Structure 1
């Protein structure tokens, strides 16, 4: 029996809040924090256009408590997924050799507005605001230089930008939805700075005091404090619980106003054909009418005529005898175990090979065994990878690797909540997709087993676009799709994405089914696109709002293809029913 695939790594590794003594504490790496505890809801509309993240700017004097305020806000938002803290310290200018020499002798002013690279900071925050992946520079407080490392950030719903001069530059202020200034007593700031710079940045007392009196205090009086007039709210540097609560409630209201619920809308895409099927080639009644496999394939193609034509970017494999036989076995509830695994692997290889035909090729001259010259072809792709929508999308990975042995792989964990809305839990991409320059030239095969409403594929495509992959370089490879809803919604939003599918089922139904009130952690079940997996916070929220006691039955929304193949992930991995 095949083993279940491993769970994907988090989208970005959260830095420990108190990491004060390690090597990372000497850089800004420990100050850039991403929390990805809960699933991220759709951050785009039904046309595929991203909705801006919420940006909060937190300014204040050195050691006034900016980072503490940012962390307190994150802590007060337990059910708001994917919150990031970005430190302005990451955007210090690189120093010349002469400036570096001054810095090591405590004779360089790091607290002046000119010490920062506002252009790079603006570009990074602008990308984060528009949900694009970025690499934040890492600055070393010991070397007084940017290091070769970067911090990969992607997908934060709320970004907290903290630093001395966050409110200084007008272009940066324009990107902020909420502007905060943290005000603290000068003596308190000096005491905090002494403790921090000695313990975390390897400096001596005399150097810290000299720098404070020569640069820090004058800069605060002349520059930093002046930016407080741009703030929407002034927060005390200590005993600020009330202010933190006001800020968190405001952020929650703003996020609720931007919340998107798309599953139902995607299932009812205006382009979706409305006529009902008279019969399905996979139902018993129709099968009795088909005297041969060829007749079965004809019935499948007649299905398309009854429902109307498929979108132009959908490439349905020709319904030949071998394919229709495999589709029959896939639909057959009695097929399980090794037989089902063989069926899926063979079917997946056919659909992956069909997808490869849509990749660019170039002529290649070879010498035959006979010694004659022949011009053939080869793939003209520099970087190509497959990205599986976990978990059932991983069923296609072995076949993809068989077709392209050197294929790099990645994964997205996308699962549905109780209302059937998709949530993104983890993102694990090959390195060349994380770099914008190489991602624009890369080709990606997005793998999944089924496409009903298309919500999971929609989210997966949006993730790839956010990383710089070109729309026309994405191939959505799927075994089975509904003739309604999803494929039409995908065409409307992403018409240049090619959808390669082995079989089409005629219908799509929305159901509300009962489910035990049991906490299910993301990644521990073998659910397909339209199944549900909830984290503990969602369970508690459902019980609180609905008055459901522990152990009572709850319900969840489930969209299913008709006649469908059931939970293909469970059937393949042997982790559930048929």
Structure 2
């Protein structure tokens, strides 16, 4: 199975995501595939993530069952979401009760269901979400939250997973893990003593006072809501194999999106034909200087040094042109001569440059040269050699990017498939569509139409638009392998 994880990265203001990153399967996948398109030619999500709800008493083996389902499914892009992350932060009075094992962590009131429902709904819709990290030693949330993005299958486990109507509505399959009470008690003793720093007397006191009554009152009655009941927890491989077979038979998982991905570029190539270029497109004026720079960098006999030098000049002109589309407001300043000058200032909160790796990264120096202290992010999108479709492999975005205007950079755009994927990633991170400026040296008309049709509020800036693509979707006449 290919799983993926999220790391806060080395910088305080950045977020790294390596997709995928960890392989723990007994049947290892043949390739570390990226995430193929999860949206249609209109730019909208075509399939929500499939949510499996896992419920059961404390220490019943829910996480073990979840991991074994993940392993047996052998499906990429799986997220395991724990209800434990959504405990409410305790007040000082509640902290004192918890220290003496007199606080009921198994009561519905101990969980932030509003945050939980909002988070699961956004994750199901393909959005980026922040998951609190709960510390069972201090009974509070850690400073840094986990950022989760890219799920096609979500396994949500918790003792009260079935206790909220809105949560139930988000689940596509509900599984109850039924384990004998004495086994759960033994497991809870081992877990709380070794992992949470508690003593045996406190654990037994809490079990008798809260855990056992809460199970009988709130958890066990929800077993009737389950589609499947798994007796004996993670040791019941027969039940787990039956669950996996049912999921595959129903064809409700990621396999459906894989078949769609194989036709994604073909759909783009046949859509939006014979339409006028959109008003959101701005082409740098074809002055003799711009035409001359194109002549040099398109010439197959140009040396590498000259290609780099003149490409940098053209990129600089393009970035300068793109900045003129950012919002500004009038301002008045005083000159050294004591006179008032009416000028303009950027009226947004911040600017972030995001490059589509690899070629888009070559445009970053020009952006840094004209935007002081600009933040940058990266999105790695590569073409699958078998399907010919773009796949998302990695992204690193600054925190709070949703508040910024984003300059999205790529050197050339043919069908627009990679650009659309990058825009979709930004939208999933709550960047407003009208705050995205797509910048490219060279674009095919097909790519312009694809992006503009799917995302009509994204500004598209380039130095030239060409009409033709070859059979491999390369721009004709192009620049070559720019990166």
CA contact (8 A) 2:413 2:419 kept: yes
- Aligned counterpart for 2:482 among listed residues 550, 558, 568: 568
Structure 1 portions without partners, runs of 5+:
1-7, 18-35, 274-307, 434-438, 512-558, 570-578
Determine helix, strand or coil for the equivalent of 2:235: coil
**Equivalents in 1 of 2:101, 2:21: separation in Å?**
32
Cα displacement (A) at 1:368:
2.9
Question: Measured at CA, do residues 37 and 375 of structure 1 come closer, stay the same or move farther in structure 2, by a change above 3 Å?
Answer: same
Please name the residue that 1:240 is paired with: 236
CA contact (8 A) 2:136 2:196 kept: yes
CA contact (8 A) 1:360 1:381 kept: yes
Alignment pair present for 1:432 and 2:400? yes
Cα displacement (A) at 1:150:
1.3
1:273-324 Cα offsets, whole Å, 9 max, x none, are 3xxxxxxxxxxxxxxxxxxxxxxxxxxxxxxxxxx74221111111111111
1:66-124 Cα offsets, whole Å, 9 max, x none, are 1111122222344x332111110111122232222111101111112222121110000
Matches within 5 A, 1:240-319: 240-252=236-248, 253-254=251-252, 255-259=254-258, 260-261=260-261, 262-269=264-271, 271-273=272-274, 309-319=276-286
Please name the residue that 1:467 is paired with: 429
1:193-213 Cα offsets, whole Å, 9 max, x none, are 111111100001111112112
**Equivalents in 2 of 1:324, 1:370: separation in Å?**
41
Cα displacement (A) at 1:178:
1.2
Q: Which has the higher relative contact order, 1 or 2, with Cα contacts under 8 A spaced 6 or more apart? A: 2
After TM superposition, what 4+ stretches of structure 1 lie above 6 angstroms from structure 2?
12-17
Which moved further from structure 2: 251-260 or 193-202?
251-260
Cα displacement (A) at 1:249:
4.2
- Aligned counterpart for 2:360 among listed residues 383, 386, 393: 393
CA contact (8 A) 2:19 2:392 kept: no
1:242-271 Cα offsets, whole Å, 9 max, x none, are 3333333444521223443211111221x2
Cα displacement (A) at 1:393:
0.6
Please name the residue that 1:455 is paired with: 417
1:357-380 Cα offsets, whole Å, 9 max, x none, are 000112232333433221121222
Cα displacement (A) at 1:419:
1.3
Please name the residue that 1:544 is paired with: none
**Equivalents in 1 of 2:122, 2:422: separation in Å?**
18
Cα displacement (A) at 1:15:
9.6
CA contact (8 A) 1:37 1:82 kept: no
**Equivalents in 2 of 1:358, 1:311: separation in Å?**
16
Determine helix, strand or coil for the equivalent of 1:10: strand
Matches within 5 A, 1:70-469: 70-78=66-74, 80-236=75-231, 237-252=233-248, 253-254=251-252, 255-259=254-258, 260-261=260-261, 262-269=264-271, 271-273=272-274, 309-417=276-384, 418-433=386-401, 439=402, 441-469=403-431
Cα displacement (A) at 1:493:
0.9
**Equivalents in 2 of 1:358, 1:250: separation in Å?**
52
CA contact (8 A) 2:20 2:77 kept: no
Alignment pair present for 1:478 and 2:440? yes
Aligned length: 454
Question: Measured at CA, do residues 15 and 340 of structure 1 come closer, stay the same or move farther in structure 2, by a change above 3 Å?
Answer: closer
Question: Measured at CA, do residues 336 and 182 of structure 1 come closer, stay the same or move farther in structure 2, by a change above 3 Å?
Answer: farther
Cα displacement (A) at 1:180:
1.0
Determine helix, strand or coil for the equivalent of 1:476: strand
**Equivalents in 1 of 2:154, 2:55: separation in Å?**
14
Q: Report the RMSD for the aligned CA atoms in angstroms.
A: 2.1
**Equivalents in 1 of 2:246, 2:476: separation in Å?**
44
- Aligned counterpart for 1:492 among listed residues 435, 439, 453: 453
Alignment pair present for 1:10 and 2:17? yes
**Equivalents in 2 of 1:81, 1:336: separation in Å?**
43
Structure 2 portions without partners, runs of 5+:
1-14, 25-30
Question: Measured at CA, do residues 350 and 107 of structure 1 come closer, stay the same or move farther in structure 2, by a change above 3 Å?
Answer: same
Q: TM-score w.r.t. structure 1 length?
A: 0.75
Question: Measured at CA, do residues 57 and 179 of structure 1 come closer, stay the same or move farther in structure 2, by a change above 3 Å?
Answer: same
